[in-house]
């Protein structure tokens, strides 16, 4: 996977997604969005993966956002179809992974980069990390559900402070307002995240995944899907379901017993 410059490595129960375009501060291109979507789909179907790490190459940036050269060349229709719409699909796919995802942030996480970090369940930030929504400075607004996720995480007033001024905050302030969950020294992010991933990965994987889905449902994200999944899982384990399947195969009327 070289064209889009996103890497996937799987070691044991941990999958690591790495943005690998450090010379451009890991700015996102359409090809990178495509790869992120493909990787997310593959991870979600991999029963051996229990935890996902989302990180980036280089010391200066996690992700500086969307590549302005890439999106500014698009026609209005292609901007909507290829950038906004497809980006939403990819970010939602990452946010809705079965497995918990931990973002490891060193350096800049701006615009689409911050919005990408918000798709994770837990954020680990190195002390030099910087967070911001600079879109108003170039005449656009934050996208890819970043405002929605940020309001749910830090509240409307703090989201407005970031979104209206475009001013960045450092890792300490990000931790204070609840934007990040763990802070650590420079160069310690991946090790810190790996330790956390190993703790999560040692727990019962189905219970972990259900807990993630329950939290999302409480927040109003995927509520119908969570209810369907849990009700369906319960129904599948009943004697009535087994009788229903058996009667269908044997072409007879079922004899249900409320059990």
Residue 135: active-site member:
yes
Which residues does the chain have with pLDDT short of 70? 1-3, 222
pLDDT of residue 232: 77
Nearest to 26 by CA among 54, 84, 67: 67
Rounded CA separation 18/21 (Å): 9
pLDDT of residue 59: 92
CB atoms within 10 A of CB 93: 18
- Catalytic position from the list 3, 38, 59, 115: 115
pLDDT of residue 81: 72
pLDDT of residue 3: 61
Residue 115: active-site member:
yes
- Catalytic position from the list 3, 11, 126, 135: 135
Nearest to 190 by CA among 9, 3, 16: 16
Structurally, at CATH architecture level, domain 6-201 sits in: Alpha-Beta Complex (3.90)
pLDDT of residue 2: 46
pLDDT of residue 249: 93
Kindly report, as residue ranges, where domains of CATH 3.90.226.10 are found in the chain. Answer: 6-201
pLDDT of residue 36: 97
């Amino acid at each position: 996977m070289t064209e889009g410059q996103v890497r996937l490595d799987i070691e044991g129960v941990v999958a690591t997604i790495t943005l690998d375009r450090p010379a451009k501060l890991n700015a996102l291109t359409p090809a990178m969005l495509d790869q992120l979507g493909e990787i997310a789909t593959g991870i979600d179907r991999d029963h051996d993966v229990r935890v996902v790490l989302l990180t980036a190459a280089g010391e200066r940036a996690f992700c500086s956002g969307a590549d302005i050269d890439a999106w500014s060349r698009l026609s209005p229709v292609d901007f909507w179809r290829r950038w906004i719409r497809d980006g939403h699909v990819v970010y939602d796919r990452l946010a809705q992974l079965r497995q918990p995802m931990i973002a490891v942030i060193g350096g800049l996480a701006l615009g689409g980069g911050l919005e990408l970090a918000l798709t994770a369940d837990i954020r680990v930030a190195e002390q030099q990390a910087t967070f911001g929504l600079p879109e108003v400075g170039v005449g656009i607004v934050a996208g890819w559900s970043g405002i929605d996720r940020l309001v749910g995480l830090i509240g409307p007033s703090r989201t407005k402070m970031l979104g209206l001024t475009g001013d960045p905050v450092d890792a300490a302030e990000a931790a204070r307002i609840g934007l990040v969950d763990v802070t650590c020294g420079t160069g310690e992010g991946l090790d810190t995240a790996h330790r956390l991933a190993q703790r999560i990965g040692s727990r019962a994987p189905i219970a972990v995944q259900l807990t993630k889905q329950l939290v999302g449902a409480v927040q109003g994200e995927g509520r119908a899907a969570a209810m369907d999944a849990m009700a369906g899982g319960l129904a599948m384990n009943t004697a009535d379901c087994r009788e229903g399947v058996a009667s269908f195969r044997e072409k007879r009327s079922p004899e249900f017993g409320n059990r």
